[in-house]
Structure 1
Amino acid sequence: MGTTDIGGVITLTGTDLDPHVTHEATRRLLTGPGLPSNSALLGFGALRHRPALRRVAELVDDAERLAEELRDQLVVGALRTVDRDLESLVLNGTTGEIFTTHVHRRHPGLMDLSPLAPSLDALLRCAAATDELIASRGRFASQGYGPKVVAAASERLASVFAADAGEDLAPYWRMAALIRPLARIARPGTGLALDLPSRLLDEEFGSAAVVRFEEVDFPGTLTHEPTRRFLREVGLPENGYWYELDTDVPLPTLAEYYADEDRFTAEELPSEADRLIRLGYLVEDTSLVVDGATGAVLCWSEADAVLRPLNADISTLAFTVWLVHREKALDQEHDLTDAYEQLAATMAETLAAVDPIACDPTPRTPQDDGWRYWPEAFEDQAGGGLYA
Structure 2
Amino acid sequence: MTTITLAGDRIGPHVTHAPSRLLLSGGVLPAAGTLLSCAALERDGLVRVADAAGVPGARLAGDLGGRLVVGELLHHDGEGADTVVLDGATGEVSTTYFLPDRPDLMELEPLAPSLRALADFATAVDELAALRGRFAFCAGRYGPEVAAEASGLLLTLFEEGSAAGEPAPLWLMTALIRPLALVAGPGGRSGLTLDLPSRFLDEEFGAGETVRFEDVDFPAALAHEPSRRFLREVGLPEDGVWFSLNTETPLPTLAEYGADDPASGPPPPGADRLIRLGYLIEDTSLVVDGTTGAVLSWSEAEGVLRPLNADLSTLAFTLWLIHRERALDEEHELSDAYEQLADTMIRTLAAVDPVACDPAARTVPGDDGLRYWPGVFEDYAGAGLCA
Q: TM-score, normalised by structure 2?
A: 0.94
CA contact (8 A) 1:59 1:105 kept: no
The equivalent of 2:306 in structure 1 is: 308
Once the two structures are superposed, what CA deviation does each residue of 1:209-228 show, in whole Å capped at 9, x if it has no partner? 10001111111111111111
Once the two structures are superposed, what CA deviation does each residue of 1:121-163 show, in whole Å capped at 9, x if it has no partner? 1111111112222222222222322222222221111111122
Between the aligned residues of both structures, percent identity stands at 60
The equivalent of 1:226 in structure 2 is: 226
The equivalent of 1:197 in structure 2 is: 197
Whether 1:373 and 2:372 are equivalent positions in the alignment is yes
The equivalent of 2:60 in structure 1 is: 66
- Deviation, 1:42, is 0.6
Aligned equivalents of 1:52 and 1:313: distance in 2? 47
Q: TM-score, normalised by structure 1?
A: 0.94
Aligned equivalents of 2:299 and 2:264: distance in 1? 12
- Partner of 2:222, secondary structure, is coil
Identify the range of structure 1 (87-96 vs 21-30) with the bigger mean alpha-carbon deviation.
Answer: 21-30
- Deviation, 1:34, is 4.2
- Partner of 1:11, secondary structure, is coil
- Deviation, 1:22, is 2.3
- Partner of 1:78, secondary structure, is strand
- Deviation, 1:232, is 0.5
CA contact (8 A) 1:62 1:108 kept: yes
Aligned equivalents of 2:367 and 2:84: distance in 1? 34
Q: Tell me the matched-pair count.
A: 379
Whether 1:54 and 2:47 are equivalent positions in the alignment is yes
CA contact (8 A) 1:145 1:185 kept: yes
- Are the structure 2 counterparts of residues 264 and 200 from structure 1 closer, same or farther at C-alpha, using a change threshold of 3 Å? closer
Aligned equivalents of 1:21 and 1:369: distance in 2? 48
Aligned equivalents of 1:344 and 1:301: distance in 2? 23
1:1-388 equivalent positions in 2, closer than 5 A = 8-49=2-43, 51-63=44-56, 64-83=58-77, 84-143=79-138, 144-166=141-163, 167-190=165-188, 191-263=191-263, 268-362=266-360, 363-388=362-387
Q: Over the residues paired in the alignment, what is the CA RMSD in angstroms?
A: 1.6
Gaps of 5+ in 2: none
- Deviation, 1:264, is 5.3
- Deviation, 1:203, is 0.8
CA contact (8 A) 2:177 2:325 kept: yes
Identify the range of structure 1 (345-354 vs 301-310) with the bigger mean alpha-carbon deviation.
Answer: 301-310
- Partner of 1:252, secondary structure, is coil
Gaps of 5+ in 1: 1-6
- Partner of 1:344, secondary structure, is helix
- What amino acid maps onto 1:241 in structure 2? V
- Partner of 1:315, secondary structure, is helix
- Partner of 1:10, secondary structure, is coil
- What amino acid maps onto 2:251 in structure 1? L
- Deviation, 1:21, is 2.0
Identify the range of structure 1 (53-62 vs 332-341) with the bigger mean alpha-carbon deviation.
Answer: 53-62
CA contact (8 A) 1:73 1:91 kept: yes
- What amino acid maps onto 1:55 in structure 2? R
- Partner of 1:142, secondary structure, is helix
- What amino acid maps onto 2:347 in structure 1? E
